[in-house]
A and B are shown apart, each in its own frame.
Chain A
Amino acid sequence: ELKVEQNPLFLSMQEGKNYTIYCNYSTTSDRLYWYRQDPGKSLESLFVLLSNGAVKQEGRLMASLDTKARLSTLHITAAVHDLSATYFCAVGDNNAGNMLTFGGGTRLMVKP
């Protein structure tokens, strides 16, 4: 059974600072997704990572994938308040068709 762990679960940071959210998973996968969820809202897709070494960047967020280490990172550069949200990674299970398993989420609060 695929297990996906994110850390930290909660992150409070000051504007302008950098930080990294980690997503570890337990079995082979070549598909990893990052989503953002604002309070009371649904999930919005941020990044799709489909190969080892893949790196995607959008604004102050950059995601990378290391399939050998079974690790993805979401790096935040010079955080701003608008980035406050909960971030989820989701991993495709190579042994279970195309099912996606989500991590528990990282709640990010960026303080002015």
Chain B
Amino acid sequence: GAGVSQSPSNKVTEKGKDVELRCDPISGHTALYWYRQSLGQGLEFLIYFQGNSAPDKSGLPSDRFSAERTGGSVSTLTIQRTQQEDSAVYLCATRGQPQEKLFFGSGTQLSVL
């Protein structure tokens, strides 16, 4: 596609439920990042995929968070047993060459009630 696509754009869930967020990268982009942004705050790094290398999971806040990237393309971020503090905008960004800019998706607004 022409840009990074994220779905859903909005997700409202109840505390304790699992959610799955999806990111479709720009075709050919080998690097994929997940960030989280709370209201009025900066970007918090979650996880980074680069080609076939093992992902950098150092930013995941707890073991309730996991992510995978199938076939080097689509990525899913899964949050198990959601908590209210998980409410935020989850942003996916992808990049081609190492020094290129990141292209961001429009994000998924997650609200945990």
Interface of A toward B, CB cutoff 8 Å: 31, 33, 35, 41-45, 48, 50, 88, 90, 92, 96-105
Contacts and interface: CB of A to CB of B under 8 A. Distances in A.
Interface of B: 31, 33, 35, 41-43, 45, 48, 50, 53, 56, 91, 93, 95, 98-107
A102 B101 contact: no
B43 A102 contact: yes
Contact of A98 (B91, B98, B104): B98
A42 B50 contact: no
Q: Nearest 10 pairs between A and B by C-beta?
A: A104-B42, A45-B101, A102-B43, A43-B104, A42-B104, A42-B106, A105-B42, A98-B98, A48-B101, A99-B48
A41 B9 CA distance: 11
A97 B102 CA distance: 15
Given A42-B91, A43-B91, A88-B43, A99 B104 contact: no
B91 A45 contact: no
Nearest to B98: A98
Contact of B101 (A33, A88, A99): A33
Contacts of B48: 97-99
B45 A45 contact: no
A106 B43 CA distance: 12
Contacts of A41: 106
Contacts of B100: 48
B107 A42 contact: yes
Contacts of B105: 42
B99 A45 contact: no
Contact of A99 (B56, B91, B99): B56
- The winner among B43, B99, B100 for most chain A CB atoms within 10 A is B43
Nearest to A103: B42
